[in-house]
């Protein structure tokens, strides 16, 4: 036990100690040399998103300063495209170690009698009212907006986005962390058209430097000049003057700060450690461990005491003794009777095996440090690729289970395994994509990428599923330790907690209770646009979820068999799979309390994607519960003597 604990601590410390950045550091210098060629830091602008809307937009959709079309944007991986990341090279020119003070980027002029100008201005006002945030990237580092924490003992709060502007309603209420002047009883739209960029760098021995932090402070100013006027002028309200005109100057300032205390490999720390996530994550782990220990104690009590006593008592009975059988031994002739809808059950088991393998491998790779936050979109890309590549386990498990049921329609089994679940997910995703297309969102997947994902499914996943099914059907059918009676045994009246629906619903309570705190961070990362980086916590919680699902299903399965109910096949899958129902119910709570989104499109997008996640969660937990119960029942009936 001591060696196992030491190994666990070593693995946790290893995951904490390093990550693999996947890119080499870039050195910058004021004058090009043989060892340093980079003199300008390009500023990449990304999508705009909000916690009040599930519809992200591309930067170029709005009438900001134009992007630099002469420079090609960086290539995007599959995960970035699916997330809606669209990077463009902006016109901001940052010369290495060259300070700027209120340098003008461009002017935007709007006329009250011009319909296009009014439309562009209303679009900006709309995203300001919905608290849309901008995302910028410099040297593969997100530009951070840091504000002072109200608690003096805590670090500054740093986020990887900053608002487009400040909306103040008639009551003087604002959502953004800015407070420009206003008069009560009137609505104001202030545009944050000036940014103060602070770049912290580490000096190298050859005179060059590396970027270790990029921070921004957005402000609003109405002055059209350059120099010190940016900080001294009044805020810019998006209102026309007496002549029916409005001029918006976009300016920026650049400040350089030498910081040799921070290493380049640790430059993400100020972003990742600015929240109190670590303490809450430890609380989540401890909460989950308590649940697992409680369940493990109950299972140990059943296996070591009750079940061991049952087996000893059953085996001591004289076969010629006319004493009537009792307990779970009573249903030995029916417990392996093939279930109804065995084809569909085998298909779901195969699909669950595919999801289980995909999540397991992805989490192991992420815990090893490959999926660090700077490698944007790689987590989703790897998840999609792993899901496609693990088509063989899906076909193999489905074929093995279906053959053990005595099924003969192997073609239907293979086709359903390859197409049933992916077709449902792809159909829902396609409908959601149509809504995003209609809204002009940046997360609308282009038609070419959609065809590429479809080709991955049909050309890779489907053939691999056929290969797995081929080997699964070639093997001998699973032999059970007891023979099945020809006439099904009558099932007596069940108590409330052993009935079908209550038993299934009870099966998902403890598993979701062991991971519900982790669900908050996952939803917060996806919908509140926060950085998720604690993959080693997620890996531990995943193991806890698997153990909890297995133990809960075994407990319920044992109780049902003792009450002479031998219909365990579907119940084992659904009892553990009901965790997905509570997962979906939690998403409703998160939507109402944390996001407060508005609009039918946001509602449809949120619950559409949550439904897809719930499907895969159902397949994962259902597979774990079924397989644990399957091995448990095979084991207990293989060690007991039957006629």
- Three-state secondary structure of 39-70: CEEEEEEEEEEECCEEEEECHHHCCCCCCCCC
Tell me which of 195 and 169 has the higher pLDDT.
Answer: 195
Are the C-beta atoms of residues 160 and 215 closer than 8 Å to each other? no
pLDDT at 426 over 90: yes
> Over pLDDT 90: what percentage of the chain?
33
Q: Is the pLDDT of residue 21 over 80?
A: no
pLDDT attached to residue 45: 92
The per-residue pLDDT for range 364-412, each reduced to its tens digit, is 888 877 776 666 778 888 889 999 999 999 999 999 999 998 888 889 9
pLDDT at residue 488, as a whole number: 75
Q: What are phi and psi of 166, to 5 degrees?
A: -125, 125
When pLDDT is cut at 50, 70 and 90, the band that residue 225 belongs to is: low
Bigger pLDDT: 11 vs 433: 433
341 phi and psi angles, rounded to 5 deg: 55, 45
Strands 144-147 and 188-191 turn out to be unpaired
State residue 19's pLDDT score. Answer: 43
Mean per-residue pLDDT for 187-212? 89
Domain spans in the chain, listed from the N-terminal domain onward: 26-272, 277-288+341-483+516-638
Across the range 79-84, mean pLDDT stands at: 80
Look at residue 534 and tell me whether its pLDDT is greater than 90.
Answer: no
Please tell me the least confidently modeled range out of 63-77, 187-201, 283-297, 489-503: 283-297
Residue-wise pLDDT for 560-591, tens only, equals 888 888 888 999 999 999 999 999 999 999 99
pLDDT at position 524 over 90 = no
The burial of 542, by beta-carbon neighbours within 10 Å (0-12 exposed, 13-18 middle, 19 or more buried), is given as: buried
Query: Which segment of 101-105, 107-111, 273-277, 385-389 scores lowest on mean pLDDT?
Result: 273-277
User: Does an H or E element contain 189, and which?
Assistant: strand 188-191
Kindly tell me if the per-residue pLDDT of 256 is higher than 90.
Answer: yes
Dihedral through CA 147, CA 149, CA 153, CA 154, nearest 10?
-70
pLDDT tens string 127-184: 998 889 999 999 888 999 987 766 555 567 788 889 998 888 766 666 555 566 655 6
Token representation of residue 242 = 């007496």
Q: What is the overall mean pLDDT for the chain?
A: 82
Region 251-268: what's the mean pLDDT?
88
pLDDT at 16 over 50: no
Greater pLDDT, 499 or 322 = 499
Tokens at residue 473, please? Answer: 């059907």
Phi-psi region of 372 (alpha: psi -120 to 50; beta: other; left: phi over 0): beta
Taking alpha carbons only, the member of 624, 621, 522 closest to residue 579 is 621
Question: With bands split at pLDDT 50, 70 and 90, how would you rate the model's confidence at 1?
Answer: very low
- 89 vs 43: CA distance, rounded Å: 6
Label residue 609 by pLDDT band (50, 70, 90): very high
Mean pLDDT of 224-241: 72
Output the CA angle 144-81-375, nearest 5 degrees.
Answer: 50
Q: How far apart are CA 471 and CA 32, in angstroms?
A: 61
Which pLDDT belongs to residue 320?
A: 54
pLDDT band for position 311 (cuts 50, 70, 90): low
User: Does 536 or 553 have the greater pLDDT score?
Assistant: 553
Question: Per-residue pLDDT averaged across 287-300, rounded?
Answer: 74
pLDDT band of 351, cuts 50, 70, 90 = very high
Give the bridge partners for 95, in sequence order: 40
Average pLDDT over residues 19-32: 73
Which pLDDT score, from 0 to 100, does residue 102 have? 86
Give bridge partners of residue 509 from the DSSP assignment: none
């Amino acid at each position: 036990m001591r060696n196992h604990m030491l190994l666990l601590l070593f693995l946790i410390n290893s995951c904490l100690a390093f990550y693999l950045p996947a890119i080499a550091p870039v050195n910058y210098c004021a004058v090009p040399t043989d060892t340093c060629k980079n003199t300008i830091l390009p500023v990449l602008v990304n999508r705009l998103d909000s916690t009040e809307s599930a519809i992200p937009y591309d930067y170029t959709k709005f009438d900001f300063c134009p992007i630099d079309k002469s420079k090609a944007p960086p290539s995007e991986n599959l995960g970035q495209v699916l997330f809606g990341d669209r990077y463009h090279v902006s016109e901001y020119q940052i010369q290495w170690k060259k300070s700027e003070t209120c340098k003008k980027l461009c002017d935007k002029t709007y006329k009250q009698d011009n319909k296009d100008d009014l439309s562009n201005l209303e679009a900006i006002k709309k995203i300001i009212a919905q608290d849309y945030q901008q995302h910028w990237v410099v040297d593969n580092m997100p530009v951070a907006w840091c504000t002072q924490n109200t608690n003096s003992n805590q670090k500054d709060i740093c986020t990887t986005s900053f608002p487009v502007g400040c909306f103040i309603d008639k009551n003087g209420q604002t959502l953004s962390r800015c407070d420009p002047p206003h008069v009560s009883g009137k609505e104001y739209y202030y545009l944050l058209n000036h940014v103060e960029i602070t770049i912290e760098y580490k000096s190298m021995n050859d005179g060059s430097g590396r970027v270790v932090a990029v921070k921004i402070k957005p402000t609003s100013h109405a002055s059209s000049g350059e120099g010190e006027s940016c900080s001294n002028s009044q805020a810019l309200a998006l209102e026309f003057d007496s002549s029916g005109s409005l001029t918006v100057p976009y300016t920026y300032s650049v400040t350089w700060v030498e910081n040799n205390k921070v290493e380049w490999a640790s430059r993400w720390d100020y972003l990742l450690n600015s929240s109190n996530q670590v303490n809450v994550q430890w609380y989540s782990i401890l909460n989950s461990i308590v649940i697992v220990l409680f369940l493990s104690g109950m299972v140990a009590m059943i296996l070591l005491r009750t079940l061991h006593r049952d087996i000893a008592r059953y085996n001591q009975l004289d076969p010629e003794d006319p004493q009537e059988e009792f307990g779970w031994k009573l249903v030995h002739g029916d417990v392996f009777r093939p279930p109804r809808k065995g084809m569909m059950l085998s298909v779901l088991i195969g699909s669950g095996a595919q999801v289980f393998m995909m999540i397991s491998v992805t989490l192991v790779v992420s815990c090893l440090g490959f999926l660090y936050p700077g490698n944007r979109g790689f987590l989703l890309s790897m998840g999609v690729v792993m899901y496609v590549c693990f088509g063989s386990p899906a076909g193999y498990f489905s074929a093995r289970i279906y053959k053990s049921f005595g099924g003969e329609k192997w073609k239907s089994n293979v086709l359903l395994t390859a197409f049933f679940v992916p077709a449902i997910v792809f159909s829902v995703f396609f409908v959601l994509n149509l809504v995003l297309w209609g809204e002009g969102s940046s997360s609308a997947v282009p038609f070419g990428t959609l065809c590429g994902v479809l080709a991955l499914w049909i050309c890779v996943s489907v053939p691999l599923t056929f290969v797995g099914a081929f080997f699964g059907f070639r093997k001998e059918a699973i032999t059970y330790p007891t023979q099945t009676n020809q006439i099904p045994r009558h099932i007596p009246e069940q108590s409330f907690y052993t009935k079908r629906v209550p038993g299934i619903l009870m099966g998902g309570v403890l598993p979701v209770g062991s991971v519900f705190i982790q669900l908050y961070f996952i939803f917060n990362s996806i919908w509140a646009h926060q950085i998720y980086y604690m993959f080693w916590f997620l890996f531990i919680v995943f193991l806890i979820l698997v153990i909890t699902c297995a133990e809960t299903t075994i407990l319920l399965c044992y109780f049902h068999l003792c009450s002479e109910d031998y219909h365990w096949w579907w119940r084992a899958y659904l009892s553990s799979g009901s965790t997905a129902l509570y997962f979906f119910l939690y998403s409703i709570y998160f939507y109402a309390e944390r996001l407060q989104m508005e609009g039918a499109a946001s509602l449809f997008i949120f619950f559409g994607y949550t439904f897809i996640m719930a499907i895969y969660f159902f397949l994962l937990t259902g597979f774990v519960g079924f397989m644990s119960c399957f091995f448990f029942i095979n084991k207990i009936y293989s060690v007991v003597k039957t006629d």
